[in-house]
Amino acid sequence: MTISSIWRKTWQNKSYKNTMISGIVALCAISAFLNHFFQAIEVREGIEINDLILSVLPAKDCSVAIFILIWSSVALATIRFVKNPMLFILFLWSYVALCITRIITISLVPLDAPAGLIPLRDPLSNYFYGQVFITKDLFYSGHTASLFLIFLCLEKKNDKLIVLFATGLVGLLLLIQHVHYSMDVLAAPFFAYFNVYYARKFLQSGRLYENQQK
């Protein structure tokens, strides 16, 4: 069965279509809100943490390596998700949940940027941040969580191993660049698991994900 025929058949499922459209609308609304949110949290006062791990890591710019690892993983995931509409919708709603939980945790945990922070240069991600470098979107790490979320959504063992390796390496490089505190990176996989778990529950509540997996 071709990719187009798979999507055509899946799109005929009214429940899938409505859930997909609502997910895309939710993500677009969140994306429109994020720029204003990031600008607001950047000017608020926060707490600077004495992070023992960061204190022994000399700050170095790892932006290029982080960019390559993240967007290579996204490219791999895109290839897999295009071939499997159910994986795509699971990722979509998991990412919506990730964005919402990050807004909540960043709002509840006001932090100042770590000492020695080197701004992360990512022309694609920075589109949502505006012209000013955002340094206080700290707890929890969105880059680490997004990669671990991809890892959880993928099915093939080799794909999962590749993305899991990229997740660990990106987490380490973020610390070397002093973009995040260690707790931001260490907490990210737990939040990613939470987001995928409840996205799957949400899809199963309408028997969408469950039926398609049979």
pLDDT tens-digit series, residues 51-76: 999 999 999 999 999 999 999 999 99
Q: Which amino acid is at 94?
A: S
pLDDT per position as a tens digit, 93-135:
999 999 999 999 999 999 999 999 999 887 666 555 555 678 9
Q: What is the pLDDT of residue 121?
A: 84
Q: 135-178, pLDDT tens digit by residue?
A: 999 999 999 999 999 999 999 999 999 999 999 999 999 999 99
Structure tokens at 140: 């929890």
Tokens of 85: 């509409």
Instruction: Count how many residues are written for the chain.
Output: 214
Question: Tokens 């409505």 label which residue?
Answer: 18
